[in-house]
Amino acid sequence: MVSHSAKIAPRPRRSDLSVRSAFTLIELLVVIAIIAILAAILFPVFAQARESARKTACLSNTKQLGTATMLYVQDYDETFPCNAWDANVGARVFIGTADNDAGRDMVSITQWMWRIQPYLKSRQVLRCPSDPNPKHSRMGYSADPNNTWGIPTPISYGHNQHLLGYGGLENDRSAPDWARDYPVRSMAAVPTPASTYMYADGGRDYMEAWWINDLRAANYRRVYNANPPGGGARQDTTEPWASRFKNDNSKRHQGGQNVTYADGHSKWRRGEQITSGDNWVDNDKKGSEGLVLREY
């Protein structure tokens, strides 16, 4: 039996419910401001995490290049892969039908990547995920079958011309003197392979001591559409190079590049740590590593 003395609470009015469940404008603005602050803090963190993953993927690429080269060296009497001076003959002997974007045969002097390709089994290894343009002309990319200096595949890594020279020069008296300074090299010809650069993230396909800045700032040409100055560290005070070099965007991976050494190992190096190995070019910095073949 229900007691008549019990009081039944009145039901809240519809207007009371709507007022209690709503946000005020100030509360909404505070929430939006908090979200904006968190986004401003987290977005750079996410960007760094993404670039860190790309740097790791690129390091894997350079390690594969080093391993493939060491396998090649073992199979070819401890001789490093080289480029062919006589492209009209060498390209067809060593490349055959080039697997390029144009889908046709191509004669090319630059052949080191095709010589180690049987050990790689992939062209994707030649592309760095942080390279904004693997088809950049300074990397040698070309789909023109008449361009003997063209590289018929997108590529992000330059090779040490002091180490991977040219074959067939002894049979071609027309070769210029500068080319004769870069002959085929054997492992025995490299005094310190663990300190000699072989491949690296680069702004151009051929790495030479004078053009060391293309290695120290691999994305410089991509970002600024300009050539970095030659002469390595001796140009550090030249503008606009000096200011642009301090910008990490001119490098490829968080202020540095991935480098493969002549013994096959790879590691990340800050742009400021990279030297040519030539004291005159490096302004007597006496770096412990570099491109030229000498005792460090």
Supply 183's token pair.
């002959």
Q: Please report whether residue 64 resides in a domain.
A: yes
Q: Please report whether residue 168 resides in a domain.
A: yes
| Long-range contacts formed by 246-252: CB under 8 A, 24+ apart | 247/223, 249/219, 249/223, 250/217, 250/219, 250/220, 250/223, 250/224, 251/216, 251/217, 251/218, 251/219, 252/58, 252/128, 252/130, 252/131, 252/201, 252/218, 252/219
CA atoms within 13 A on the CB side of 137: 5
**Residue 291 near residue 162, CB atoms below 8 Å:** yes
> What is the pLDDT at residue 234?
76
> What is the pLDDT at residue 49?
75
> What is the pLDDT at residue 97?
44
Q: Please report whether residue 69 resides in a domain.
A: yes
> What is the pLDDT at residue 171?
67
Q: pTM score, two decimals?
A: 0.81
Query: Residue 62's closest CA among 242, 208, 265?
Result: 265
The continuous run of DSSP H or E covering 180 comes out as: helix 177-180
> What is the pLDDT at residue 294?
82
Which residue has tokens 């070819």? 76
Q: Please report whether residue 1 resides in a domain.
A: no
Q: Is 47 in a helix, a strand, or coil? A: helix
Q: Please report whether residue 287 resides in a domain.
A: no
CA distance to 123, 187, 214, 285, per residue, from 245 (Å) = 30, 34, 11, 18
Distance of CA 248 to the CA centre of its chain: 13
Domain interval for residue 149: 28-273
Q: Please report whether residue 13 resides in a domain.
A: no
How far apart, in whole angstroms, are the C-alpha atoms of residue 60 and residue 168? 32
Q: Please report whether residue 150 resides in a domain.
A: yes
Rounded to a whole number, what is the largest CA-CA distance in the chain? Answer: 122
Number of domains within the chain: 1
**Which residues of the chain are modeled with pLDDT < 50?**
1, 90-97
Query: Residue 128's closest CA among 197, 59, 46, 28?
Result: 59
Kindly give, in sequence order, each residue whose CB lies less than 8 Å from that of residue 81, ignoring residues fewer than 6 positions away.
Answer: 69, 72, 111, 112, 115, 116, 164
pLDDT digits (tens, 9 = 90+) for 40-85: 777 776 677 788 999 999 999 999 999 999 999 999 999 999 998 8
- In the chain, the N- to C-terminal Cα span, in Å, equals 104
Q: Please report whether residue 20 resides in a domain.
A: no
